[in-house]
């Protein structure tokens, strides 16, 4: 790999997350501070292949830190899975003299970056941008705090109407492979049950618990379920509940993509800014092919391959907290 990085490309890939714009802003302005040219790559890896690459200046990232989504757009690119696609992307970068990349995304984005960097002489730095908080090597991922606060706000409002009508609400939040949004939002809103992919759902135990609560005249119950729960989403759970407890006034609410959007929280803006700054520092210092994260409020660097393969774990202690507080 080239020893000195003089031109950096930055892209956002995979699902969007609030705070990505703050990370882009930090990469651009830190690069400019150090005299490095920065290029924005549009639509993720597709932009590398299609040569949709634009020079970025300080004013290019003005007034974006408070905006959700990503000004660089994002996409999933099947062509990048193939060697020919990656070779085409590499040739486009070389024509512009780009010799360093910052990838803001999740584990799928890092898998692509790791493969690309191994095949060609361009170092990559990963910034964890995903609302799921499912990447090892960092206490926070960009977008999680905003997404979980959006879920909390919505669930609080649902509880008001549940209380007014003595209803059982089954609320589905995002989390195809990870239950962190369900876990955190469920605890924060006093949910009676939280169903997550990391813990096998015992539907009989859920039915018995809800039946017992109904017997005790506890008519307002909230069940928060991650979309990737092994038993299924909210609709699947509700179907069984309605069949087994027909007297319960059961309703379903799927929060969906509302969790992805919105102005990023203060925490997401701060960690995105720190990570963007540190990503450029890594390229300057020759610390290549790592993901920048934050552990115990300090910058932490995980080899890209390990960040791809490892996952955050939800401990049994969290599950015990849920059980005790919801009883």
Which residues 6+ apart lie within 8 Å of 263 measured at CB? Answer: 18, 66, 67, 68, 146
d(CA 4, CA 53): 21
pLDDT (mean) for 133-152:
94
With a threshold of 0.85, does the pTM exceed it? yes
Contact status, residue 123 vs residue 100, Cβ threshold 8 Å: yes
Of 317, 316, 312, nearest in space to 302 by CA: 312
Distance of CA 264 to the CA centre of its chain: 12
Looking at residue 308, what is its pLDDT? 74
d(CA 21, CA 4): 26
pLDDT digits (tens, 9 = 90+) for 80-105: 999 999 999 999 999 999 999 999 99
Question: Any idea of the CA torsion for 135, 223, 202, 325, to the nearest 10 degrees?
Answer: 80
> Mean pLDDT in the chain?
92
The pLDDT-based confidence of 174 (bands split at 50, 70, 90) is very high
Looking at residue 279, what is its pLDDT? 98
pLDDT digits (tens, 9 = 90+) for 177-233: 889 999 999 999 999 899 998 888 889 999 998 888 888 777 778 999 999 888 888
Looking at residue 326, what is its pLDDT? 73
The pLDDT-based confidence of 258 (bands split at 50, 70, 90) is very high
More confident residue, 101 or 322: 101
The pLDDT-based confidence of 324 (bands split at 50, 70, 90) is confident
d(CA 14, CA 103): 10
| Cβ atoms within 10 Å of 145's Cβ, excluding its own | 23
Whether 132 sits among the annotated catalytic residues: the reply is yes
Contact status, residue 229 vs residue 174, Cβ threshold 8 Å: no
Of 65-69, 123-127, 202-206, the range with the lowest mean pLDDT is 202-206
Q: Is the pLDDT of residue 121 over 90?
A: no
Domains and CATH numbers, the chain: 7-143+264-309 (3.40.50.450), 145-260 (3.40.50.460)
Looking at residue 199, what is its pLDDT? 86
| Cβ atoms within 10 Å of 234's Cβ, excluding its own | 24
83 membership: H or E segment, kind and range:
helix 83-96
Looking at residue 309, what is its pLDDT? 67
Q: What percent of the chain has pLDDT over 90?
A: 74
Sort strands 290-295 and 221-226 into parallel, antiparallel or unpaired: unpaired
Strand partners for 11: 103
Looking at residue 235, what is its pLDDT? 94
The pLDDT-based confidence of 275 (bands split at 50, 70, 90) is very high
Angle at 306 between CA 50 and CA 77, to 5 degrees: 20
Which position among 16, 132, 134, 229 bears the catalytic label?
132
Integer-rounded Cα Rg, in Å, for the chain is 22
The pLDDT-based confidence of 310 (bands split at 50, 70, 90) is low
């Amino acid at each position: 790999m080239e020893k000195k990085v003089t031109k950096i490309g930055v892209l956002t890939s995979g699902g969007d997350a609030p705070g990505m714009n703050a990370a882009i802003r930090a990469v651009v302005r830190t690069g400019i501070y150090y005299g490095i040219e920065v290029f924005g790559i549009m639509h993720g890896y597709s932009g590398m292949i299609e040569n949709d690459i634009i020079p970025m200046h300080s004013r290019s990232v003005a007034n974006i830190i408070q905006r959700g989504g990503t000004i660089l757009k994002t996409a999933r690119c099947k062509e990048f899975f193939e060697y020919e696609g990656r070779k085409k992307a590499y040739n486009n970068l070389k024509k512009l003299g780009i010799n360093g990349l910052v990838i803001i995304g999740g584990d799928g984005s890092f898998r692509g970056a790791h493969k690309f960097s191994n095949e060609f002489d361009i170092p990559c730095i990963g910034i964890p941008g995903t609302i799921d908080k499912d990447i090892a090597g960092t206490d926070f991922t960009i977008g999680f705090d905003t997404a979980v606060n959006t879920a909390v706000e919505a669930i609080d409002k649902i509880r008001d109407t549940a209380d007014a009508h003595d209803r059982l609400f089954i609320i589905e939040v995002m989390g195809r492979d990870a239950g962190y949004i369900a876990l955190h939002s469920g605890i924060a809103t006093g949910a009676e049950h939280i169903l997550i992919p990391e813990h096998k759902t015992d539907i009989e135990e859920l039915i018995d618990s809800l039946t017992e609560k109904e017997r005790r005249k506890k008519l307002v119950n909230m069940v928060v379920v991650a979309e990737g729960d092994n038993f299924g989403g909210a609709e699947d759970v509700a179907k069984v509940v309605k069949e087994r407890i027909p007297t319960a006034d059961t309703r379903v609410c799927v929060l969906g993509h509302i969790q992805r959007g919105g102005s990023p929280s203060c925490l997401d803006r701060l960690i995105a800014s720190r990570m963007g700054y540190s990503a450029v520092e890594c390229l300057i210092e020759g610390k290549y092919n790592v993901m920048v994260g934050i552990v115990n409020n300090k910058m932490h660097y995980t080899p890209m391959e390990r960040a791809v393969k490892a996952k955050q774990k939800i401990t049994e202690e969290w599950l015990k907290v849920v059980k005790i507080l919801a009883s």
